[in-house]
Amino acid sequence: MMTISHPLDSTEFACGNLGRRASGTFDAQQSKCFHGGRSILVRVAQLILLLAVLFGSGCGGSSPSPASSSYADQFDFLWQTFDAKYSYFVYKNIDWQGLSDTYRPQAVQATSQDQFTQVLVQMLSNLHDLHVHLIDPSGNYIATFTDTDFVNFNSVVWQQYLQAQGTSISQPDSWVLNGYLGGVPYIAVESWAPSTSSEAADLDAVLEPFQNAKGIIIDVRMNGGGDSTTAGEFAGRFADKTRTAGFIQFRNGPAHNDFGPLQTRQVVPRGPWQYTGPVLMLIGRGCFSSNEDFITQMRELPNVTVVGDTSGGHSGDPASFNLSNGWQFTVSTWIDYTAEMQIIEDKGIDPAIFVPTTAADFQAGKDPVLDYALSHIPH
C-alpha cells in the first residue's frame, strides 16, 4: 500500500527548503516591465525577502511568513514561495517573473482584502492547477482554477440505477457503498477519506462479500481525491504481488527545473486475501489527485481493466503556507508520473477502454459507462 497523502491543508515547513532564485542578476531591459521605474527596488525587496525566508525563519522553528501585513510584502512572500517550491513551472511553460511584472502593481494598489484576493486569484489562475488555493481565515478554500471538462458521471442517473437495479446495497460509511447492480458485484468509492483503522475496516467490509465473485465493478468516476494512503490500502486488496505504480519528484533547488531523484510508488498486497478475479474500474474527468494515484496502481494489475474516459489530470501534493491576518495559500510541490513516466498533471490517465458519454445520454436516463460494465463483467 502507499503511504503518500494528498491532504489539501498539509503543511510543509522544512528548514532551508525554500531555496532561492536561479539568478540574482538585475536586467535593465527587464526593468522596463515595472510600473514607475521601480524594478530594481522591487527585485531588491524580493531578494531580501528570500534571504529572510532562507536564513531568518526556516531554521528557527517558526513558520515562514511575510515581513509585514502590507499587500506588497504579502504578494512578494507568496510569489517567492511559489518561485522556490512550485513544481510545474517548466512543464507548463509559465513565465513566473512576467506574471509578477503584471500583477504586483495591481496587488500593491489594492484598497481592500477582496481586491487583493482577486489579484492573487487572477495571477494564480495562469497555473491551471486545481491544487493551488487561497484559504481565508475561516478555513474556506478559494479556487484559483476550476476544471470545466465534461464528466461522465451524473449523480441523479446513478441513483436511478441503484434504485432500479440495485440489491443488498450497503453503505458502511458516507463515502463508500457496495451491493449488487443488475446482479453484478458493485463497489462505489465517492472519496478517499483520511486513513485510519476504521477507514481500512470499512474498505475491507465492502470487499468481503465478494471474495468468490466472478467479477467486480469498482466505480470511482465521482471521486475527486482525498488521502492516498486510504486509496493505496484498497488497491492492495487487489494486488497479486508488489508492482511499480508510478514515480514522483519534488522540487529541491532554486531553479525551476531543480528536482530530487525519482521516488518509486508501489502497489503492495494487503489484507488476509486479495481479490484477483476480473475487475472493471470506471473512471472519468471527475477523478483527481489521490484518486488518480489509485488509478495508477489499479491499472498495473493484470486482473483490472480501466473503462470510461481520461481522468482529470490534477496531482500536486500541495503544501500550505501562511500569509497575514489568518490567510493561507497552497503550492503544488511534486511531479507525479505513471509507471510509463507520463506526467499526470493536465493530461490525466487514459482508460484501456473508452466509452463515449454525452449530456444527452444522462438526459435520457442512461449511463453508457455503467451499461458497458454491466454487460461485460463476468457474473
Contact 8, 242 (CB under 8 A): no
* Single pTM value for the model: 0.82
Say yes or no: 298 and 322 in one domain.
no
**Per-residue model confidence (pLDDT) at position 197:** 62
Segment 224-250 shows an average pLDDT of 95
Asked, for residue 258, whether it belongs to a domain, the answer is no
Segment 65-79 shows an average pLDDT of 96
15 has pLDDT over 50: no
Say yes or no: 189 and 141 in one domain.
no
**Per-residue model confidence (pLDDT) at position 309:** 98
CB atoms within 10 A of CB 201: 11
Cα distance between residue 281 and residue 218, in whole Å: 5
Say yes or no: 325 and 371 in one domain.
no
51 has pLDDT over 60: no
Any residues with CB less than 8 A from the CB of 346 and at least 6 apart, and which?
Answer: 91, 92, 128, 313, 314
Say yes or no: 202 and 229 in one domain.
yes
**Per-residue model confidence (pLDDT) at position 260:** 97
Lookup: cell for 299? 491499472
More confident residue, 301 or 25: 301
Asked, for residue 338, whether it belongs to a domain, the answer is no
Contact 156, 131 (CB under 8 A): no
**Per-residue model confidence (pLDDT) at position 194:** 75
Say yes or no: 220 and 281 in one domain.
yes
Of the pLDDT bands very low, low, confident and very high (cuts 50, 70, 90), residue 79 is very high
Say yes or no: 307 and 321 in one domain.
no
Our CA dihedral for 56, 60, 65, 70, rounded to 10 degrees, sits at: -50
Asked, for residue 247, whether it belongs to a domain, the answer is no
56: exposed, middle or buried (C-beta count within 10 Å: 0-12, 13-18, 19+)? Answer: middle
Segment 15-25 shows an average pLDDT of 28
Q: Which residue has 522553528 as its cell numbers?
A: 61
Asked, for residue 268, whether it belongs to a domain, the answer is no
Q: What is the pLDDT of residues 319-333, one digit of tens each?
A: 999 999 999 999 999
Segment 359-374 shows an average pLDDT of 98
Asked, for residue 371, whether it belongs to a domain, the answer is yes
Any residues with CB less than 8 A from the CB of 233 and at least 6 apart, and which?
Answer: 1, 195, 199, 200, 203, 270
Of the pLDDT bands very low, low, confident and very high (cuts 50, 70, 90), residue 33 is very low
Asked, for residue 166, whether it belongs to a domain, the answer is yes
**Per-residue model confidence (pLDDT) at position 172:** 84
**Per-residue model confidence (pLDDT) at position 255:** 97
Percent of the chain whose pLDDT exceeds 90: 78
Asked, for residue 211, whether it belongs to a domain, the answer is yes
**Per-residue model confidence (pLDDT) at position 343:** 98
Domain count, the chain: 2
Say yes or no: 50 and 127 in one domain.
yes
Q: What is the pLDDT of residues 295-325, one digit of tens each?
A: 999 999 999 999 999 999 999 999 999 999 9
Length of the chain as a residue count? 379
Pairing relationship of beta strands 141-143 and 328-331 according to DSSP bridges = unpaired
Q: What is the pLDDT of residues 146-169, one digit of tens each?
A: 989 999 999 999 999 999 999 999
Of the pLDDT bands very low, low, confident and very high (cuts 50, 70, 90), residue 3 is very low
Segment 239-254 shows an average pLDDT of 96
21 has pLDDT over 50: no
Cα distance between residue 50 and residue 60, in whole Å: 15
Q: What is the pLDDT of residues 96-134, one digit of tens each?
A: 999 999 999 999 999 999 999 999 999 999 999 999 999
Q: For the domain that residue 189 is a member of, what is the CATH number?
A: 3.90.226.10
Query: What mean pLDDT is reported for the chain?
Result: 85
174 has pLDDT over 60: yes
Any residues with CB less than 8 A from the CB of 367 and at least 6 apart, and which?
Answer: 153, 154, 157, 158, 161, 357, 361
Say yes or no: 17 and 143 in one domain.
yes
Lookup: cell for 127? 497555473
Say yes or no: 167 and 227 in one domain.
yes
Say yes or no: 208 and 235 in one domain.
yes
Range of the domain at 184: 155-239+274-313+348-376
Of the pLDDT bands very low, low, confident and very high (cuts 50, 70, 90), residue 11 is very low
**Per-residue model confidence (pLDDT) at position 196:** 67
Say yes or no: 4 and 56 in one domain.
yes
Say yes or no: 220 and 291 in one domain.
yes
**Per-residue model confidence (pLDDT) at position 1:** 36
32 has pLDDT over 50: no
